[in-house]
Amino acid sequence: MARYALEVMYDGTKFHGSQIQGTTPTVQLAINTALSTLLRTNIETFGASRTDEGVHALCNLYHFDLENAPNPEFVYKLNAVLPMSVAVNKLYQAVNPEFNCRFEAIRRRYRYKIYFRKNPFQQGRALYHPYKYNRDLLNETAEIIKEYTQFESFAKRNSQSHTFNCTIHQSYWESHVDELHYIVEGNRFLRGMVRGLVGTQLKLASKQGTAADFRAIVEAQNCTLANFNVTGNGLYLEEIAYPDGLLMEIK
């Protein structure tokens, strides 16, 4: 028995989240169904990162086990079976048959997209925010985030996390033509954390808040002080990284 991993991308607006929830349409259910159909046996996958309803992914991984090696057209055939809202980018074989795509990931990167002028072609792909904001404050709060490791204020209630500690490697805002993007990269993220970081920064920057206000929210370790009220469809899981040598790409 060998362990394999699929690198997939998907349109989160077509699903009720990524993690399997019985017969509710989710990314994991679509992948399990397609694999089981193609291989003519029941296949269960395990995901690297859970994304909420509406959240997109350019890179998420799902591992699964097979007795026989997949044929050379495996990715092509799997993409033919999957719905148009999901695509397989790459297929890997794990060097260690006990490889776990969730627990062995060392880095994850998210991007949140915001636009400011009404545009029907950006709807469902970014947050519409037609309000004035303080860009300098956004830059300042993004830098502040890297100073902390305790993020309980940005974890939704009932997140079932054993620890609220995260190491943030990158945190910054970036202009893209008519959009503003927030990029954050860390070793792990809590449930709702990225949306909480974005929503809280944006609220303070739009309502004459200060960097001191943001620090107070972080240090309070109280999720009722953060703002999670930004849409999931502006959020993209952009990259998941693993130590070298754990996965071998099958081409």
Q: Are residues 100 and 182 in the same domain?
A: no
Inter-axis angle of helices 27-39 and 74-81, nearest 10? 120
Query: 30 falls in which pLDDT band (50, 70, 90)?
Result: very high
Q: Inform me whether the pLDDT recorded for 105 exceeds 70.
A: yes
Q: Which of 82, 104, 126 is the last residue of a domain?
A: 104
Choose the weakest-confidence range: 1-5, 9-13, 69-73, 84-88. 69-73
Is 52 catalytic? The answer is: yes
Which among 104, 134, 155 is the end of a domain?
104
Cβ distance 71 to 91 under 8 Å? no
127-128 and 107-115 strand pairing: parallel
The pLDDT value given to residue 251: 86
Tokens linked to 159: 């997140």
> CB-based contacts of 34: which residues, under 8 Å, 6+ apart?
78, 81, 82, 86
Question: Rounded mean pLDDT of 95-114?
Answer: 97
Q: What is the mean pLDDT of residues 127-153?
A: 97
Cut 0.85: pTM above it: yes
Of 72, 104, 136, the position where a domain reaches its end is: 104
Report pLDDT digits (tens) over 173-206.
Answer: 999 989 999 999 999 999 999 999 999 999 999 9
d(CA 133, CA 238) in angstroms, rounded, equals 25
Active-site residue (options: 52, 136, 213, 244): 52
Q: Are residues 115 and 60 in the same domain?
A: no
